[in-house]
Structure 1
């Protein structure tokens, strides 16, 4: 069996494992393994093929880690990619003495609190976080 065939088989196995686990970094390593298979087709020695796999796969992992969107580092409760309620507006009529308010949102009554460093005021507010069944809101500035 040719060396390139072995590299392609290993690449396929790593991709299959990535599909089962959802670990995107394995896909980056598979790119390195595919590069090693191409270097085997080019006739490079086995040590060079291993070096190509390490440099390309490791480089792809580092590049993905540095270039991935920074919004993924937010907590899920405050990340618009996870919770589509983030950024939506609600209308505050009055605040309760305990620092909470009741707002109507999506056809239901929700308890809301103001974000840290935000003074309670009436009017339009934007949802910045969802904590269980409680909304964290801040004054909406269009």
Structure 2
């Protein structure tokens, strides 16, 4: 069996295992194995093929790990609009209590409201929901 065929079979196996496990890193290693197969087609010796597989596959893994580290982290679940449909909605607070809490009617029910900025004096008006803290809406000024 030709050396390139072995490299192609290894690359295909890595892709198959990646599909079962769902790790993207195995796909990057499969790119390295495919590069080694191309090196075998070019007639490079075994040492060069292994070196190409290691450099390309390892480099792809390192690059992907670095790229993932550069992406912004998702918001905490209580402040993630993808998980909480109330994030970004507006509520009208008619009156604040002395402890900087309020009660508002929102989506057909009474909700407890807390001001996100603890340093500012609460004033009645429209507020934007920043996050949920249990069953309380944490709001900030629009």
Decide: shared fold, TM above 0.5: yes
What RMSD over aligned residues (CA atoms) do the two structures have, in Å? Answer: 3.0
Give matches, 1:78-97, under 5 Å: 78-80=79-81, 82-83=82-83, 85=85, 88-93=88-93, 94-96=95-97, 97=99
1:30-80 CA-to-partner distances (Å, cap 9, x unmatched) read 111111111111111111111111111111122122223522454444445
After superposition, the Cα gap between the structure-2 partners of 1:99 and 1:2, relative to the gap in structure 1 and judged at 3 Å, is: farther
1:19 aligns with 2:19: yes
1:42 is matched with 42
Structure 2 equivalent of residue 59 of structure 1? 59
Q: CA contact under 8 A between 1:28 and 1:60: conserved in structure 2?
A: yes
| Change beyond 3 A, Cα 1:56–1:89 | same
Look up the match of 1:137: 139
What residue ranges of structure 1 are gaps of 5+ in the alignment?
none
Segment drifting more, 119-128 vs 59-68: 119-128
Instruction: Report what 1:99 is aligned to.
Output: 101
- Equivalent pairs counted in the alignment come to 138
> Which residue is equivalent to 1:28?
28
The equivalent of 1:115 in structure 2 is: 116
User: Could you tell me how far apart the structure 1 residues matched to 2:56 and 2:116 are?
Assistant: 45
Change (3 A) 1:62 1:90: same
CA distance in 2 between counterparts of 1:14 and 1:42 reads: 22
Q: Distance in 1 between matches of 2:37 and 2:63?
A: 21
Equivalent residues of 2:80, 2:87 under 8 A apart: no
